Structure 1
Amino acid sequence: MNQLDEALSSLIGQWNGYSTGLITALVLIITYSIMTRVEAEIHPMLLARQAQGSPVRQEGESPIYRGSSAPHGMPLNSGLNVKEPGASKWSTGRDGDLRDIWKRSVLGTPEGEAPKGKGKILTVLGSQKVIEHKHDSITRAINLIGQQISSQGGSKVAIYLPNSVEFLATLFACSFYNLTAILLPFDEPEDVIVSMLQRSGADTVVTAPGAFPFDIVVKSYPALKQLIWVVDEGSKHLDWNEVPKGVGGSVNVSTWQDILNDVPVAAGTDLLSYDESKEPNDVVIFWKTKPGNLEEMVRLTQKNLVSAVSAQLTAVPSHSRFSPADLFLPAASLSDSFPLVLTLAALYSNASVALNSVAGTSSDIALATIGIAPTVVVATPETMRKTHVETTGKLTSAIASVAHWVQTRSLVQNGAMPVASFLTQFTDNLRPSIGVTPGKLRLLYVADSAGADTPTLSEHTLSDLRIFTGARVIYALTAAKVAGSVAQTQYHDYRVHGDGTGSHFGPPVSSVEVFLRDSGSHKTAEDGSTIEGQIIVRGPAVSGGLAELGVLGKIREDNTLAYV
């Protein structure tokens, strides 16, 4: 006791202002660590091995890799598992097709499933005008447009429109009336449009005035039988049924509005019955590597599309999937399969969908979201790189840089999205303007096109975008012959390796499996230390069942797919 008393007396005797400062700092550090500690949103081990390789591989090839949601021994996701009313919960449903997607969008969430609700379909015409389209009116358009095209002998329908309700209605009309839908990339040069029509053999075109070179097309492509103009409100008074001189009566010209207005209002509002055993015709897309340069025409079957939709529905945790509470905005063209598949997934999940014409390769995310508050957006890499460059350029003050560093630390080291704090208020006004209600966006999809001239977004850039937008970012790899995506990053994967200049695309989605074929010096080592080669994809979401992407890839240590 005497020794303890002497020690305490000595300590107190030596106490001074420096001691008080050190103890205060220690207490503050410990308190801050306890108060700001957050649990990682996902266990690190689940990110350490994101895909499973097959136990056996062929000579000259890597093991076959599958995502954890479709392990080896289980079938890949082939469809929507559509069940008839009253069917057992444990019974196996049909794969379905696009008709089932629209049927579910019209009828809402089936009995016994959650969450309940029915989404809206909106057209956004600037900040002051948002039009809601009733499902019955769109069903009416589907029926009447399908009847019009079929009655005129049409069978191959080219859709040359920006993102719009008419685009979706024509696509579903093709499925219900057994027509082949041909999705043409919008705003292309005249010679490219003619080339796409010739290659696809289209006999009908649904398009907008001013965007489609009618005179040139009818002279260069005599196989065109029918043209349907989608006229905006300001041009309805003009006579769009007039055929240019020299064309004669070879092309039947009509307008979307006339087709709908020439029959009673109540006609065609009932959902069309269909033979579930008969698969609708294919959907043709054009794979674009550069503006004005078309590399490949691809036929995607209905099974390819619903398999891709099913994979997207299961690619995120169940609590974060599309729901009636979401508003989905495709800020990329629906003529590309990835935005199209996500839009179909949103419709099938009864989420609301907003459509506008501000959707292109380098569109402005602020303009694309004006007038609405989307919760889920799909955008192009060019758009998000532009957003990243503009926002990064605003981080000029020291306090903004410190706030960004703190948020990055929370995201990368703690594995959790940063929350609002005292420091974040200094960067709130620097963030990109996305929607009329800041903070509503929760999920952002971006996809790299294999073999195309698209910028690759680094891990550092993706991390910054998560902080700037306040949303989780899913980065995907897409390819010409694959509906939807080949692979995409996981919902909770916020990691940044090294200096962050690298990039990866996560594990394969549940509708495909991936392996690499040896190519030159890029091979699979016998000890598995390096796994490189040409990327090969196969599965129910692949046109023809198997596709070579024509690019070199590698499997990283965490079993994610990346470019070499």
Structure 2
Amino acid sequence: MSFSGLLAQLDDGLSSLVGQWNVYSTAIVTLLVLLTTYSITSRVEPEIHPMLLARQGHGSPVRQQGESPIYRSNAAPHSMPLNSGLNVKEPGASKWAQGRDGDLRDIWRKAVAGRSEGDGVEEGKGHFFTVLGTEKVVEHKLGDITRQINLIGQYISSQGGGKVAIYLPNSVEYIATLFACSFYNATAILLPYDQSDASIVSMLRQSGADTVVTCPGTFPFDSVVKSYPALRQLIWVVDEGSKHLDWNEVPKGMGGKVNVSTWQDILNDHPQNAGTELPSSDHQAAAPDVVTFWPSEADSVEEMARFTQGNLVSAVSAQLVAIPTKERFSPADLFLPAASLSSSYTLVLTLVAIYSNASVAFNSVAGTSTDLALATQGVAPTIIVATPETLAKTHSETKGKITSALASLSHWIQTRSLVQNGVMPMASFLASYNDALRPRLGTKPGKLRLVYVAHPATSSSSSRTPRLSELTLSDLRIFTGARVIYALAAAPCAGAVAQTQFHDYRVSGDGKGSHFGPPVSSTEILLRDSGSHKITDDNYTGDVVVRGPAIIGGEAALGLVATIRDDNTIAVV
């Protein structure tokens, strides 16, 4: 066919098409153009490559009989040691010199020093706040807290105190006592708050405490002194409205065996310029241990855990690198622990915030089943740590408000953005329809960016602690507007055994299952034969054994059965 014939044929075809064109043709073409334009303009790249979620950990190339391979985080390959510390370098040390692991004293020194321009990160120092209701927020200067650390530590040491039990709600005094114990060589004993008299006495006996720092009205002084004669010192932390009372008087019949004083009197007995400089640290001497308790039932204590400071700084170092570099804690963040500091997971994250020079707010509204909106009132946190009970309560209350068809459609679109596109939902007209139904978290809703939560790895606690499913976690990301990291915690492990990745928004199947991500970089996990569960080449299901510098004694069996999923994450059976 000649070129002129081809043109003639093309002209006939176009003439025929135009001749048959009608309103339906216009509608179809317009619809196709709109769909194509929308698919191009609304297409977004996932926040993380799917292959990084498909293999979140890696196993050792060889396994022993009756055991699974040893699984580690991708951030801690088998050819390298697990994260053991903070890599603290002395002033003037070479950039390439190996630092030491450090301890809690180095964390507070970093908080006081702040971040410098040479660190390659945002400069600044963190601030400390006490939240008193919705309208009163008290800021504490770093110098004042350092003075409290020194004076309280010196007083306890001068009175012969060597084992200090802290029975306080989350507060600046709690943290100051913990650091005072580290600087002045006393064992800190973190007692779970709001316990029965019998439970408090039992914990004091197990730990051998000789000093208690507590607040009036919550500590059963009479019954403790009668049942536990080894108590030698009691320091009351008195609020502003009760300072005028005489708290130093020992009740009759106690025989003056207990030296009673108040926090405020200890500070006021010294001039204002006393205790403003931190004592020099002896890096050769081992820092004192930190004791925590693992509660089981309402009126009993299941287990006492004695962590070395090496365990704690290892867990801190693992959390420092567990999230992407640009999302890590910084001076721009405000961290709020909405769970008790007596939990090692909450404590480790608080230490991470302090070491990272983030601001920290303390609120006495922190417990097992806290109202999250109430716990965040008065401040605008960007990062919080909460309990599974708290988040389950928040989820059920918010989910119950989504009843209309339009609200359900808005929620479905946001869920689709998370699960299928792999990105946090973007602001849009339809997405904003559910804004009024969401919990009001903080004084500036929308600032919250990260939520931590840990599930306790004990058989007795598992029955009453709700396990958050993948669908529940997805809903919580939508309701809070923040990413949620779900961890597995255990009594012998400082911080987390394993936790989900920052960008893992997946929901598998019907969403009722759950997993706890890969091990953190301070732990490694293996499974062993357990009863009816036998390890084979095709199925890794058995008792969980965790190892690493964050574990008491270096290795511990957790007493629960779990399996390794295809993506190398751990899921409890």
Matched, 1:299 2:306: yes
Matched, 1:139 2:146: yes
Among residues 261, 269, 275, which one is paired with 1:254 in the alignment?
A: 261
Matched to 1:322, the amino acid is F
Matched to 1:377, the amino acid is I
What's the secondary structure of 2:146's corresponding residue? Answer: helix
Matched, 1:462 2:473: yes
Give the length in aligned residue pairs.
562
- Give matches, 1:52-201, under 5 Å: 52-110=58-116, 112-113=118-119, 114-201=121-208
Rounded to whole Å, the distance in 2 between the matches of 1:343 and 1:51 is: 26
Deviations 1:340-389 (A, max 9, x none): 00000000000000001010000011011101110100000000011111
User: 1:367 matched to which residue of 2?
Assistant: 374
User: 2:385 matched to which residue of 1?
Assistant: 378
CA contact 1:77–1:311 (8 Å) conserved in 2: yes
What's the secondary structure of 1:485's corresponding residue? Answer: coil
Rounded to whole Å, the distance in 2 between the matches of 1:291 and 1:4 is: 85
Q: Structure 1-normalised TM-score? A: 0.98
Matched to 1:92, the amino acid is Q
Deviation at 1:15, TM superposition (A): 2.5
- Give matches, 1:296-335, under 5 Å: 296-335=303-342
CA contact 2:198–2:299 (8 Å) conserved in 1: no
Rounded to whole Å, the distance in 1 between the matches of 2:32 and 2:407 is: 26
What's the secondary structure of 1:52's corresponding residue? Answer: strand
Matched, 1:561 2:567: no
Deviation at 1:14, TM superposition (A): 2.7
The two structures, once aligned, show a CA RMSD in angstroms of 1.0
Rounded to whole Å, the distance in 2 between the matches of 1:536 and 1:125 is: 43
CA contact 1:332–1:380 (8 Å) conserved in 2: yes
Rounded to whole Å, the distance in 2 between the matches of 1:328 and 1:296 is: 29
Deviations 1:407-466 (A, max 9, x none): 111111111111101211211111111111111011110110001231100000001111
Among residues 468, 490, 499, which one is paired with 1:479 in the alignment?
A: 490
Matched to 2:440, the amino acid is S
Deviation at 1:293, TM superposition (A): 2.7
Structure 2 unmatched runs, 5+: 1-6
Matched, 1:531 2:540: yes
User: 2:346 matched to which residue of 1?
Assistant: 339
Deviation at 1:16, TM superposition (A): 2.5
- Aligned-pair identity (%): 71
Rounded to whole Å, the distance in 2 between the matches of 1:536 and 1:167 is: 32
CA contact 2:485–2:499 (8 Å) conserved in 1: yes
Stretches (4+) displaced over 6 A: none
Deviation at 1:110, TM superposition (A): 4.5
User: 2:525 matched to which residue of 1?
Assistant: 514
Rounded to whole Å, the distance in 2 between the matches of 1:336 and 1:409 is: 35
Among residues 405, 410, 413, which one is paired with 1:406 in the alignment?
A: 413
Deviation at 1:111, TM superposition (A): 5.7
Matched to 1:201, the amino acid is G
What's the secondary structure of 2:395's corresponding residue? Answer: helix
User: 1:49 matched to which residue of 2?
Assistant: 55
Among residues 485, 495, 502, which one is paired with 2:513 in the alignment?
A: 502
Deviation at 1:127, TM superposition (A): 1.4
Rounded to whole Å, the distance in 2 between the matches of 1:396 and 1:23 is: 37
CA contact 1:97–1:279 (8 Å) conserved in 2: no
User: 2:273 matched to which residue of 1?
Assistant: 266
Among residues 390, 395, 400, which one is paired with 1:393 in the alignment?
A: 400
Rounded to whole Å, the distance in 1 between the matches of 2:276 and 2:41 is: 58
Matched to 1:84, the amino acid is E
What's the secondary structure of 1:427's corresponding residue? Answer: helix
Q: Structure 2-normalised TM-score? A: 0.97
What's the secondary structure of 2:130's corresponding residue? Answer: strand
Deviation at 1:399, TM superposition (A): 1.6
Deviations 1:506-548 (A, max 9, x none): 000000100000112222222xx22110000010000111111
What's the secondary structure of 1:222's corresponding residue? Answer: coil
Structure 1 unmatched runs, 5+: none
CA contact 2:127–2:141 (8 Å) conserved in 1: yes
Deviation at 1:400, TM superposition (A): 1.5
